[in-house]
Copies of this chain bind each other. A is one copy, B any other.
Amino acid sequence: MTELDIVSRLRKYSNKIGDDCAVLSLPGSRDDLLLTMDLMVENVHWVPGDSPRQIGKKAVIRSLSDIAAMGGDPRYCLISLALPKSATRQWIDNYYQGAVAVLRRYGAELVGGDLSRSDTLTCDVMICGTIPRGKALKRGGARPGDRIYVSGPLGAAASRGYSVQNLPEPRIALGRKLRGKATACMDISDGLSIDLHRLCLESRCAASLDGAIPIARGATLEHALHGGEDYELLFTLPPSLHLRIADIHQIGIMQQGTPGAITMDGKPLKPAGHDHFRNK
C-alpha cells in the first residue's frame, strides 16, 4: 500500500483530489478558493526536544508552499493540535508564536482550529487561499516540449536530516508571477524524482532531465533528486516563453512517452522520494 494507492482510491469520490490544493469556485465570486491541509506527527516530522517555535513554523510552511504551488494568495489558517499531558503552556505558546509569525509574513491570519488530548503530539494545518478565477496553476497542464524548471537548489533538507532548525521560505511571490504563464506547477515536498513523476502522470507526459540539477550547499545529487521538504517549485513553461526571473533553473524537457516515465542523461530515473505508506 502506497500513499499514491490511497489517494487514487479517494479520487473516486471527487475530481478535486490530487493537486497541491483543491480549487473551488464559489457562485458570484471573482476568486477561486484554494484549500490545503498538512499533518505533522512527532517522531515522524520532528523529534522530541525540537523547538516548538520551529515546529509551528514548519507546520504552516508546508501548507503555504501548497498555496504557492497553485499561484495563490494565502488568506486564512486553521490549526488543530493534539497534545499529550506533558505539553506545557510554554510549548503551546511557542508553537503558535512560530506559526503566526510565518503566517503574518505572507498575509495570512490564524482564524480557528481544534484542540484534543493524545498520546502522540500531532498538528494539522489547513490554509485557505484565493486566486483570480480560473488562474490556478495545476499539475496536469504540461505538454511535450515544455521546459521544466525548479525555483532553487535542492537537497538542503535531506542533507541536514530534515531538521526543523533550517526551514525554507514558501515561494508565494514566485507562484504569483507564474500565474497565466506556467503550464504546470507543484511544490517539491517529497523529492524531485517522485514529484516530477506525479506531475508527468497528471500531464500524461514523460520527462527528460538534461540540464544541471541545482544542488544545495552540503547536499549530494542523491539528496537533490530524492530528498524531500525543500519546498521549491517545480514548474513547466512553453518553449516560446522566456521569463526574466532570477534563480530559476531549467532542468529538462517534457516529452511524449509513457506517462510518468523520467530519463536523466538518457537513462531511466526511478521515482524514489518519500512515501509514508510504502512498505520498505
How many identical subunits does the complex contain? 2
Judge whether A253 is part of the interface by a CB distance below 8 angstroms: no
Give the distance in Å from the alpha carbon of A76 to the alpha carbon of B96 in the complex: 26
Contacts of A115 in B (CB 8 A): 3, 6-7, 39, 276-277
**Structural contact, A109 and B78, CB atoms closer than 8 A:** no
The residue that A30 contacts in the complex, of B6, B28, B76, B277, with Cβ under 8 A, is B28
**Structural contact, B116 and A37, CB atoms closer than 8 A:** no
Judge whether A24 is part of the interface by a CB distance below 8 angstroms: yes
**Structural contact, A112 and B22, CB atoms closer than 8 A:** yes
Give the distance in Å from the alpha carbon of A30 to the alpha carbon of B44 in the complex: 42
The residue that A41 contacts in the complex, of B6, B92, B118, with Cβ under 8 A, is B118
**Structural contact, A114 and B16, CB atoms closer than 8 A:** no
- A95 CB → nearest B CB, Å: 11
**Structural contact, A119 and B27, CB atoms closer than 8 A:** no
**Structural contact, B111 and A17, CB atoms closer than 8 A:** yes
Give the distance in Å from the alpha carbon of A93 to the alpha carbon of B78 in the complex: 26
Residue of B nearest to A114 (CB): B39
Most-contacted residue by chain B among A6, A21, A43, A82 (CB, 10 A): A82
Give the distance in Å from the alpha carbon of A155 to the alpha carbon of B40 in the complex: 35
- A275 CB → nearest B CB, Å: 10
Contacts of A36 in B (CB 8 A): 78, 112
**Structural contact, B120 and A118, CB atoms closer than 8 A:** yes
Judge whether A68 is part of the interface by a CB distance below 8 angstroms: no
Q: Can you list 29 contacts pairing A with B, beta carbon distance less than 8 Å?
A: A1-B89, A10-B96, A10-B110, A13-B96, A13-B109, A14-B110, A17-B110, A22-B78, A24-B75, A24-B76, A26-B26, A26-B31, A27-B31, A28-B30, A33-B128, A35-B126, A37-B126, A39-B114, A39-B124, A41-B122, A43-B119, A44-B117, A116-B276, A117-B276, A117-B277, A119-B119, A120-B120, A124-B124, A126-B126
Residue numbers of A with Cβ under 8 A of B are 1, 3, 6-7, 9-10, 13-14, 16-17, 21-22, 24, 26-31, 33, 35-41, 43-45, 75-76, 78, 80-83, 89, 92-93, 96, 100, 109-120, 122, 124, 126, 128, 130, 276-277
